[in-house]
Structure 1
Amino acid sequence: MTADDDIKAAAAPLAAILKRMRAGVAFTGAGISTECGIPDFRSPGGLWTRNRPIDYPSFLASGEMRAEAWRRRFAMEAAFGGARPGRGHRALADLLAAGQLQAIITQNIDGLHQASGVAEARLVELHGNSTYATCLECGARYELGWVRARFEEARERAPDCTDCAGPIKTATISFGQPMPSAAMARAGALSGDCDVFLAIGSSLVVWPAAGFPVQAKRAGATLVIVNREPTELDALADLVIHADIGDVFSAALER
């Protein structure tokens, strides 16, 4: 049996579930974006193995830490700014367009779901978005080009809000920063009211986000996990596939 045959065999039960899905929810993690050239955070070679995360209290307390956070963000832009949606992103966008998915809940901050054609109204970003910035005091939005110009003009000093002088940060959720209550509430409602819950490319170790697959399963949904590596929730799932996400979803939709 060839590798292609293996993928087709793994995708067959997924295709059957997708065919009957009418009110599905997808939950995506970093693994869906790795084929796009964006490394994940925890695995060897991941972003956190090279740079210890800057937590929220440190960002607020130190101008040096704010400057370092922006240096890292602009370095990431040089490496990953050209990333485009992968096959997994496009497959989910197709399922949304077909009316089989209600929404996508994502842990990702890369904006690739939007780039694949997913409307903001159909997307729940649990950890925010790194493609723009906001003032932590008044909530004003700033585009990264503006922030970078001010950062460089000030010799790598982090800029402050022009309206209220508050600190400006990428619109992401850092360690130590409260989770967005509205996004968490909406994700919980979706998880409790779906017929199929697709957990895709997530290690399912970050809580409380990892609780959504559990909630969906307890509410009666079919739980599917597609991830290269085993997760702590594999035993709970109705279907587990350890394979490349793009390969699996491409094969499943072809069926």
Structure 2
Amino acid sequence: MSGAGISTSAGIPDFRSPGTGLYSQLEKYNLPFPQAIFQLDYFRENPKPFFLLAKELYPQKFTPTPTHYFIRLLNEKGKLLRTFTQNIDSLERIAGIPTEKIVEAHGTFFTAHCLDCRAEYSLEYVKDIVFFGESLPERFAECVKSVNENLK
């Protein structure tokens, strides 16, 4: 399981670091509180701040880090069963890790879905992340179960 720490050297902020974390950079959006930008109820009420932030964090602006390439190397050597990530930046995909080996717990910028009917849309239409208050992707639970069964 990896998180924000593997992407900070690519220029993508983590969430909570004082002064540099994403939450400390959201004042310009006039949010009731920083986490609101990822809350499903707030998004339904006012999606503009989220989409402005998503445009800033769009993954094509960033390059994978040595850690992302190390994970790809593990795959190339036949050592990677699966990589679970909390990141939505899609740098694992950009690094060349096969999508079937990646489990994106909080969603990804590479796919999108309608919050009401779950219809999928292309990358250009909207970026797909999991909001606070929304269930994790079904594939996440399936892959965790698979890993647990293989450990027995």
TM superposition score normalised by structure 1: 0.51
Q: Is the 8 A contact 1:124 1:187 kept in 2?
A: no
Partner-residue secondary structure (3-state), 2:84? strand
Aligned residues of 2:82 and 2:101 also touching (Cα < 8 A): yes
The answer as to 2:22 corresponding to 1:47 is yes
* Identical columns (%): 32
SS at match of 1:193: helix
Separation in 2, partners of 1:181, 1:141: 14
1:109: which partner in 2?
A: 88
- Are residue 29 (structure 1) and residue 13 (structure 2) matched? no
Mapped partners of 1:93, 1:191: distance in 2: 23
Q: Deviations for 1:100-136, whole angstroms, at most 9, x for unmatched residues?
A: 1201011111111011111111111110002443222
Q: Which has the higher strand share?
A: 1
What's 2:40 paired with? 56
State yes or no: 1:68 paired with 2:15.
no
Q: 1:105 to 1:69 in 2, by over 3 A?
A: same
Is 1:173 matched with 2:130? yes
Partners of 2:12 and 2:57 within 8 A in 1: no
Q: Which amino acid aligns with 1:129?
A: T
1:93 aligns with 72
Question: Distance in 1 between the 2:142 and 2:125 partners?
Answer: 32
Query: For the residues of structure 2 that align with 1:33 and 1:191, how far apart are their CA atoms?
Result: 27
Gap change, CA 1:114 and 1:81, over 3 Å in 2: closer
Q: In structure 1, how many angstroms separate the alpha carbons of the residues matched to 2:96 and 2:57?
A: 23
Distance of 1:188 and 1:107 partners within structure 2 = 17
Map of 1:182 onto structure 2: 139
2-side partners of 1:38 and 1:81: how far apart?
12
Q: Mark the runs of 5 or more structure 2 residues left unpaired by the alignment.
A: 27-33
Deviation, structure 1 residue 73: 1.4
The separation in 2 between residues aligned to 1:88 and 1:173, in whole angstroms, is: 24
State TM-score, norm by structure 2. Answer: 0.81
Residue 192 of structure 1 and its aligned partner are, at CA, apart by 5.3
Other-structure match for 2:100: 121
Unaligned runs of 5+ in 1: 1-26, 148-169, 195-218, 220-255
Paired positions, count: 142
The answer to whether structure 1 residue 135 and structure 2 residue 119 are counterparts is: no
Which structure has the larger Rg? 1
Is the Cα–Cα contact under 8 Å of residues 90 and 109 in structure 2 kept in the other structure?
yes
Between the aligned partners of 2:80 and 2:125, the Cα distance in structure 1 is 36
Aligned-residue CA RMSD (Å): 2.0
